[in-house]
Amino acid sequence: MNHFELRGGELHCEDVPLSRIAEAAGTPVYVYSSATLERHYTVLRDALRSAGLGEPLIAFAVKANSNVAVLRTLSALGAGADVVSEGEIRRALAAGVPASRIVFSGVGKTAGEIAFALQSGVAELNVESEPELKLIDQVAQSLGQRAKIAIRVNPDVEAGGHAKISTGKAENKFGVSFAEAERLYANASNAAGLSPVGVACHIGSQITDLAPMEAAFSKMRGLVERLRGQGLSVERLDLGGGLGVPYFNQPAPPTPSDYAAMIGRVMAGLDIAFAFEPGRVIAANAGVLVARVLHVNARPQGRQFLVLDAAMNDLLRPAMYDAWHDIRPVTPRPGPPVTYDVVGPICETGDTFTRDRALPPLEAGDLVAFMTAGAYGAAMASEYNSRLLVPEVLVKGADFAIVRPRETYDAMLARERPAPWL
């Protein structure tokens, strides 16, 4: 469910017409619904509770949407943060997420980032390799600390979805094998700078079939039992994220209740604290990208290019992942559908959002909304072609706020300076 609906012939976010936001913030602009963010988080939380999984740590994947206002909205409900850089740790802390609810993941943590995480008091560092384990041990000892760590396991499970967002196969860069995990966990238990508290896995994103998750989670339960059988303490099991969301052109994925019930069944009787790292399932349908039609370019060959002021630097997913986004006119015009190639102004053929898409008739000046754009939209935006970074707006009921303004060209240029010899 999302809170973007037609009212009086115009698309609204909650109680605010999108045209009003476009007038205030300009286009293109990301718009987020507080009500949708809150609903998606609470539905997942309540499903996990109902499945007998206690009070799990639900650490929102900051890489999906790193806007501080979005993070603060979720933090107020009790969400933690799954982070993969020092910058994301700083964003989570700035949003009011307690350090004790921050999980630091990622395969390439630097010594400086590890030190910052330890000094900040994060809940755990998910370790993805033996060299990283040794580095964390060294940094922790230099600080006079024992780092709480979890060993991330690559369960070698095919999870479907796009190859670029699949993380659970042996050929992917993430995590260690089960055999390595047992050895590294035992070694960590004897290391002066380490305190192993659990194990973790994450097999990918936009997963619409529970079977691969169930296979991976069953393997993870077995690992916990083997480690405990060796007399080692395992307090936490981090099962990652990855539950898919409906992209309007796809069948409905499993519900949070289905997902939680499966986990409850697999983990029945296992006395352990659970952690989860959802991102897309909370944020995707909570956001849209609003753009304006610049013109309709009708070619003699019969193709019609719908040229927008949004581009691949604002929403990279179609160019990078061939991702499909529903495109809706903010104020639909009457008339039969028209087939368009929807493109942006960047000097790249790849700056194409979709081809041969049937849409209501559109004209220059009309507004359109890319749906399901709240995850991996603004977070992946850039200034390619020296285009200004897209602004973000948060809506709550009848109120809205520009929570990241559009930068000026002067500010963009001021970040650079000529070399002394120039």
The answer to whether 245 and 206 are in contact (CB under 8 A) is yes
* β-pairing verdict for 392-396 and 399-404: antiparallel
Catalytic residue among 179, 192, 347, 422: 347
Q: 215, 225, 202, 167: which is closest to 275 by C-alpha?
A: 202
- The position carrying tokens 């780092």 is 147
**Cβ neighbours, 10 Å, residue 301:** 5
Q: 299, 306, 370, 307: which is closest to 338 by C-alpha?
A: 306
DSSP per-residue codes, 308-336? ES--TTT--HHHHH-----EEESSPPSS-
Helix %, strand %, coil % for the chain, to 5? 35, 25, 40
**Cβ neighbours, 10 Å, residue 386:** 9
Active site residue 347: yes
Structure tokens at 136: 């964390």
For residue 8, what are the contacts with CB-CB under 8 A and spacing of at least 6? none
Q: What is the dihedral of CA 262, 264, 270, 275, to 10 degrees?
A: 90
DSSP per-residue codes, 403-416? EEPPPPHHHHHHT-
The answer to whether 249 and 324 are in contact (CB under 8 A) is yes
Active site residues: 347
